[in-house]
A and B are shown apart, each in its own frame.
Chain A
Amino acid sequence: MSATTTEVTPGTGRGAASAQKMKRERPKDSAMHEKPSIVSSGILILGAIYCLFPVLWVIMASTKDGSELFSTLTLAPSTHLWSNIVELTQYRDGLFWRWMLNTALYAGVGAIVSTWVSALSGYVLAKFDFPGKGTVFKILLMGVLVPGVILAIPQYFLFAQVGLTNTYWSVLLPQIISPYGIYLARIYAAAAVPNDVIEAARTEGAREMYIFNRIAMPMMAPGLVTIFLFQFVAVWNNFMLPYIMLGNDHLFPITVGLNGLLNQGASAPAMYTLVITGALLSIIPLVILFLVLQRYWRVDLAAGAVKA
């Protein structure tokens, strides 16, 4: 990305300049040449343990069967992981995997569309002047401060009016607009897409949509990966919205489905083993996604720190 910028606009545009500056300074500051401090490493290791211990617990607990779960030593593994997975798969004819697919749909489609919408809106806010732009942006900033949970019930009533509750749309549509994503995209577009490039493209006769899709979007790519990951994780973990919107358990995402297994009413026991095994299986796709997209995210975090 920075290669393209320097080529087209040597030394202009604040974003490009700082990107270059950062590039030059980076090796000097690199932590690799410093001795690791015992204190800071210690804090980081403690932090890692704090975060990873529950995961370890889930892994160990998912290998136990119902009678071992609360009676054997917490971290002692057992041998029932496979039978738990089989039992979970058999639960009401494989409903669990249906929930997994639903979650993948909500998170995958939702995050891709939301990233595109955020990119478009952010790009427009950063690169165009139009009346009311400041107001729009201020409203957007307020939107960042409003937690999505608060909006779930009003959204339910709105969707009910058009008869859309209890459909895939009721969970997909509200998650497409993400004020935080638009905010990030605006910052990123301002920094990463030089005005001169846009001007040059216009002079060549390119249409605005073409400029956005073919020139601006690729330049914003690392930032968009961040937005995508944020949205994907947010939707994957979202509970309140689908919980309120959906009544049909064949549409449930994994979060709402697993919660249901714990709330069987007084006359049936909660299915702890199934829920724990399900929780373990449900984080695997997230882990894979992070490992794959990790490096983009790293590039972006560094860039954002300097440019914002």
Chain B
Amino acid sequence: MRRSLRTAAVATAAAAALLMTGCSAGTSHDSGDTNQKVNLTYWAWAPNLDKVVDIWNKSHPNIHVTVNKQDGGDPAVTKLLTAIKAGSGAPDLMQVEYQKLPTLVAADALADLSKTDAVKTKSHFSDGVWSSVTLGGDALYAIPQDTGPMMFFYRADVFDKLGLSVPSTWDEYAADARAIHEADPSVYLGTFSSNDAGWFTGLSQQAGASWWGIDGDAWSVDIDKAPTQKVAKYWGGLVQEGVINNKPMYTPEWNTALNTGKEVGWLSAVWAPGVLSGNAGDTAGKWKVAPMPQWDASNPATGNWGGSSTGVTSQSKHVDAAVKFATWLNTDPEAVKALVTTAGIYPADNAAAKQALSKAPDFFSNQPDFYDVAAKVAKTVNPFTYGPNVNVAYSAYNDDFAKAAQSKQQSAFLDAVTQMQKTTTADLKKSGFTVK
């Protein structure tokens, strides 16, 4: 009697095991042979990227690519790192933001493409962009996809009404912020967002910061240096004065403020029209774009916010096929055009971008030279080196600057920079890197 129960249990377990093997079989084999049908998975989060990939699938029956849409940015990277550690489950291709490349390279998550045809794409990209996918060495870890040069977006109607001119320096930006806030105390020219580390990184990059450095095998962390201190001091001052808001971006509150004209400016990147049309639809046609306010007007510079590349993971069994696809996606004129029109990104491929970006985005139909401004700005991006623990520095930014923004004290902003430096350096040492 007991035995029958036990046999039932064994049978259940066996059945489960069968189901498992039945399910896992047939995942791995093949490589090289171009005539064999290959299936690639691609983790990405750029909107409508699957539509762009459909074009590829139609014309390339032997290499079928499936897009698995991921949560934007960090979550996808965390997931990929987990899959790499676990030894299976990673996709073939991965959308990687430039600042995450060192992290993924340090975890052996990306295949080195320097021995493949991917190197032939070099001529399509500017040197600055190319160095961010080679990390300055001989290896090649991804093919650049898009960039996010930072620009200043503002409500032209509000500026006109108050008789303000577009700020070309940060001093003028501060003066405009004061004038706007004085005219109506519920209105701000912008906000200091303690949620968006990438935004602050871009601002620091503009000021000449490069938060990491590599010398041989030794890393250095240079967050708490003059350029970043200058930026933190500037924003801390404006927040303490109360002429700039201290609430984070990308919240419902922020969306409302943009849509209802309580925030009349945004220091953002070239992809901003996509965001504004989504959260501030009522203000279409009232915005304009200008280059960033400058620290040194005679030597214009900007930083990057966002921008990503296409990498091939170290678990991929079809590196050549993946490279073929990634090359097409990021350099083929038809693909780049589709990236612009359906995915709404600013392509890194210079020549193809010029062709594809003939018309201003709908939201900026009042400014036909939108992409001319962008192209001019994109040439002034300062160099910047990312280290292997960007995630740690970014979460330190979130923690420390949230407190600083809350306190509205200029000194707290400078303390936050010091704290970021400490946290980042300590983590780098703890992870076993040589730190100068």
Contacts and interface: CB of A to CB of B under 8 A. Distances in A.
Interface of A: 66-67, 69-71, 92, 124, 128, 130, 153, 156-157, 160-167, 169, 173, 202, 207-209, 212, 244, 247-249, 259-260, 263-272
Contacts of B385: none
B214 to A, nearest CB: 26
Given A70-B256, A269-B255, A209 B87 contact: no
Given A66-B279, A266-B199, 13 more contacts: A66-B281, A156-B86, A161-B88, A165-B83, A165-B89, A166-B89, A167-B24, A208-B2, A212-B5, A247-B70, A248-B68, A259-B71, A263-B73
B72 A268 contact: yes
A67 B284 CA distance: 12
Contacts of A128: 2
A169 B72 contact: no
Contact of B50 (A69, A92, A248, A259): A92
A208 B45 contact: no
Interface string B69-100: 11111010001001101111101000000000
A249 to B, nearest CB: 5
B86 A207 contact: no
24 contacts: A67-B281, A67-B282, A71-B260, A92-B50, A160-B83, A160-B86, A161-B88, A244-B82, A247-B79, A247-B91, A248-B66, A248-B68, A263-B72, A264-B45, A264-B47, A266-B250, A267-B269, A267-B275, A268-B47, A268-B274, A268-B275, A269-B250, A269-B274, A269-B275
Contacts of B79: 244, 247
Contact of B256 (A71, A124, A270): A71
Contacts of B43: 247
A164 B70 contact: no
A270 B1 CA distance: 59
B20 A267 contact: no
Nearest to A271: B278
Contacts of A69: 252
B191 interface: no
A149 B148 CA distance: 37
B27 interface: yes
Given A244-B82, A270-B250, A160 B89 contact: yes
Nearest to A116: B12
B320 interface: no
Interface string B250-287: 10110110011000000001010011001101100000
Contact of A164 (B20, B73, B83): B20
Given A67-B282, A70-B255, A266-B306, A260 B69 contact: yes
